[in-house]
């Protein structure tokens, strides 16, 4: 993709995002970046078009940890030193965004390729990066901000956007940002979901899934604080216009949070590594994995289970029935419970309570991202999922409202494994079988199931995963008949 003129400051650093000492890239090891990302995401979600695209297409509510990891990795690629990697990731993002369009609840059209909306995403990242230093008591020097702004212009150029939506100079940026805050942003549904649902109902990461009570207790204590800090960090004119709550001492709490996290900069190098922390949180514990980290996580998970059991044993309420030991439902009740669980954890990827095309598109997106597909393989995979969606609509959408409810799904589960789903499995096999050998070897299998590698194939010469076995397992999972496959953490874990 040819680069376009990113603005007058790009030449000061040899071109957009071309140096290994990227200003923006240096933020990834800064713990304050977590707070900056929350702030930037809220400002993005407050944009009507971006907010509508998030609500309709994003998996951030149902699968926040997966979404966080994918966003983190994508951003690192976009600010890396290798131009080919940047352009390849930009092309992937453009294909992804081109598939996101529709109308919001006010019947206003939105398009994820809208240049103004894309410029606002970059603007929020830049402004929040500057603000995270200002709020932590270490404001950036003017020249650093100039260089940083040039890099963000370079990011838009790499994405192929024409100049003009984002002001060319830093001096012109601040009036633009103030105008957007004062005139364009709204108290959108997406922003409310992030503030009042995401943090309050954040599911446990796979590593802590065995101690739900401990996670729920910690979340109940931390989520309100995160929400207060996030709101207090937003621009005051927007907080007032959007009617966001003002809590006594919120500003002091917010500055204290930024200052406290900012002190971690003085820890020894390597002590705070966001990528390692992200990998640890998203890793699925597996005692039989050939990955030593997964085995270590499994051992830690087992110890936490033992500790939780001991706490329940010593608790004064331990004579009450443990919810985890209650008799499992039988017959039709058991089938309905399993169907509801599968619908919620796997099919409803966006978490809106129904099965729609964006849910299946999210599955295709996750699979394509893991396999790092290019055209035309990515398009083949999306097309196969689109055919499956049409088949599902014809078989399960009994009321004709354009979506499939949990009740419609439970009543028609035998219809899930039709010819179109078989085609999805076959296409997924083909794009996973990178060398075209007709079977999936250990290395290819690992690429697809890197956080759920339950088969230890690395030490077995000649181990293969045949097309028929792959298709059979995929169909058993996607029709809800078998939940002990590698696909479970791939598509069901948060």
Give the integer Cα–Cα distance in Å for 59 and 48.
18
State whether 243 and 349 are in the same domain.
Answer: no
The last residue of a domain, from among 217, 244, 265: 265
Per-residue tens of pLDDT for the chain, all 494 residues: 333 333 333 333 333 444 445 677 777 677 888 888 999 999 999 999 999 999 999 988 888 888 888 888 888 888 877 889 989 999 999 999 999 999 998 899 999 999 999 999 999 999 999 999 898 888 999 999 999 999 999 889 999 998 789 999 999 999 999 999 999 999 999 999 999 888 888 888 877 777 788 888 889 999 999 999 999 999 999 999 999 988 899 999 998 998 888 887 777 766 666 666 666 666 666 666 666 666 676 677 677 666 666 655 655 544 444 444 444 455 556 566 777 888 888 899 999 899 999 999 999 999 999 899 999 999 999 999 999 999 999 989 989 998 999 888 888 766 577 899 999 999 999 999 999 999 898 888 888 876 533 344 343 344 578 999 999 988 888 877 777 677 777 788 76
State whether 171 and 27 are in the same domain.
Answer: yes
State whether 215 and 336 are in the same domain.
Answer: no
- Owner of token pair 């910690």: 218
Question: Number of structural domains, the chain?
Answer: 2
Residue 357 lies in a domain: yes
Residue 113 lies in a domain: yes
State whether 138 and 21 are in the same domain.
Answer: yes
Residue 296 lies in a domain: no
The last residue of a domain, from among 218, 250, 265: 265
State whether 339 and 460 are in the same domain.
Answer: yes
The last residue of a domain, from among 224, 240, 265: 265
State whether 251 and 371 are in the same domain.
Answer: no
Instruction: Give residue 234's Cα distance to chain centre.
Output: 22
* Three-point CA angle 339, 344, 347, nearest 5°: 85
Q: Helix crossing, 115-135 with 48-57: angle to 10°?
A: 100
State whether 240 and 165 are in the same domain.
Answer: yes
Give the integer Cα–Cα distance in Å for 212 and 210.
6
> To which H or E segment does residue 405 belong?
strand 404-405
Quote the domain boundaries for residue 186.
10-265
Could you tell me the two tokens for 241? 């216009």
Q: How many CB atoms lie within 10 A of CB 459?
A: 8
Residue 4 lies in a domain: no
State whether 369 and 231 are in the same domain.
Answer: no
Q: H/E/C letters for each residue in 347-377?
A: HCCCCCCEECHHHHHHHHHHHHHHHCCCCCH
Give the integer Cα–Cα distance in Å for 312 and 187.
43
What DSSP character marks residue 301? H
* Nearest to 86, CA basis, from 158, 16, 157, 21: 158
Q: Count of H helices and E strands in the chain?
A: 21, 6
Residue 304 lies in a domain: no
Could you tell me the two tokens for 226? 């995160």
Could you tell me the two tokens for 362? 């999210």
Handedness of CA 17, 23, 24, 25 (dihedral sign): positive
Show the DSSP H helices in 244-330 as ranges.
250-262, 274-282, 292-314
Residue 310 lies in a domain: no
State whether 14 and 112 are in the same domain.
Answer: yes
Residues 200 and 223: beta-carbon distance below 8 Å: yes
- Residue 274: predicted pLDDT: 67
- Residue 19: predicted pLDDT: 41
Find the radius of gyration of the CA atoms of the chain: 24
What DSSP character marks residue 47? S
State whether 355 and 444 are in the same domain.
Answer: yes
Could you tell me the two tokens for 122? 């970059």
State whether 71 and 175 are in the same domain.
Answer: yes
Residue 317 lies in a domain: no
- Residue 210: predicted pLDDT: 73
Strand partners, 405: 354
Give the integer Cα–Cα distance in Å for 137 and 76.
26
Residues 116 and 12: beta-carbon distance below 8 Å: no
Residue 300 lies in a domain: no
* DSSP codes, 202-257: PPPPGGGTT-HHHHHHHHHHHHHHHHHHHHHHS-HHHHHHHT----TTHHHHHHHH
Could you tell me the two tokens for 278? 């992200």
Residues 238 and 231: beta-carbon distance below 8 Å: no
> To which H or E segment does residue 111 belong?
strand 109-111
Give the integer Cα–Cα distance in Å for 111 and 128.
24
Residues 54 and 102: beta-carbon distance below 8 Å: no
CATH number at residue 462: 1.10.238.10
Could you tell me the two tokens for 383? 């097309």
Could you tell me the two tokens for 125? 């990242």
State whether 362 and 484 are in the same domain.
Answer: yes
Exposure b/e, 237-270, CB count within 10 A at least 16 = b: ebbeebebeeeeebeeebbebbeebbeeeeeeee
């Amino acid at each position: 993709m040819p680069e376009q003129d990113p603005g007058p400051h790009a030449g000061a650093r040899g071109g957009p995002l071309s140096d290994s000492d990227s200003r923006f890239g240096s933020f990834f090891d800064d713990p304050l970046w977590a707070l900056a990302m929350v702030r930037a995401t809220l400002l993005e979600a407050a944009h009507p078009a971006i907010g509508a695209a998030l609500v309709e297409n994003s998996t951030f509510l149902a699968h926040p940890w997966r979404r966080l990891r994918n966003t983190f990795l994508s951003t690192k690629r976009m600010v890396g030193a290798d131009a080919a990697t940047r352009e390849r990731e930009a092309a992937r993002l453009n294909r992804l965004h081109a598939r996101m369009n529709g109308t919001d609840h006010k019947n206003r059209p939105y398009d994820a390729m809208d240049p103004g909306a894309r410029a606002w995403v970059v603007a929020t990242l830049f402004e929040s990066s500057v603000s995270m230093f200002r709020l932590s008591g270490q404001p950036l020097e003017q020249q650093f901000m100039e260089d940083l702004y040039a890099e963000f212009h370079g990011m838009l150029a790499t994405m192929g956007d024409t100049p003009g939506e984002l002001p060319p100079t830093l001096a012109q940026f601040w009036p633009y940002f103030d105008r957007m805050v004062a005139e364009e942003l709204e108290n959108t549904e997406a922003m409310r979901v992030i503030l009042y649902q995401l943090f309050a109902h954040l599911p446990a990461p796979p590593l802590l899934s065995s101690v739900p009570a401990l996670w729920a207790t910690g979340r109940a204590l931390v989520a309100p604080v995160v929400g207060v800090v996030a709101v207090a960090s937003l621009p005051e004119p927007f907080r007032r216009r959007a009617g966001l709550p003002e809590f006594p001492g919120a500003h002091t709490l917010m500055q204290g949070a930024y200052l406290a996290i900012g002190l971690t900069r003085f820890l020894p190098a390597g002590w705070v590594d966001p990528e390692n922390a992200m990998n640890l949180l998203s890793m699925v514990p597996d005692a039989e994995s050939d990955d030593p980290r997964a085995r270590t996580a499994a051992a830690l998970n087992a110890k936490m289970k033992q500790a939780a059991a001991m706490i329940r044993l010593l608790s004064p309420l331990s004579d009450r029935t443990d919810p985890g030991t209650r008799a499992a439902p039988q017959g039709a009740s058991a089938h309905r419970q399993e169907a509801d669980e599968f619908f919620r954890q796997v099919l409803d990827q966006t978490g809106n309570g129904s099965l729609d095309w964006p849910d299946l598109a999210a599955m295709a997106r996750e699979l394509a991202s893991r396999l790092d597909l290019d055209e035309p393989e990515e398009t083949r995979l999306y097309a196969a999922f689109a055919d499956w969606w049409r088949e599902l609509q014809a078989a399960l959408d009994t009321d004709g409202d354009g979506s499939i409810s949990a009740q419609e799904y439970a009543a028609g589960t035998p219809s899930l494994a039709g010819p179109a789903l078989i085609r999805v499995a076959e296409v997924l096999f083909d794009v996973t079988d990178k060398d075209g050998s007709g079977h999936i070897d250990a290395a290819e299998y690992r690429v697809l199931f890197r956080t759920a590698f339950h088969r230890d194939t690395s030490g077995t010469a000649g181990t293969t995963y045949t097309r028929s076995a792959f298709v059979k397992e995929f169909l058993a999972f996607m029709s809800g008949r078998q939940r002990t496959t590698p696909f479970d953490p791939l598509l069901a874990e948060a």
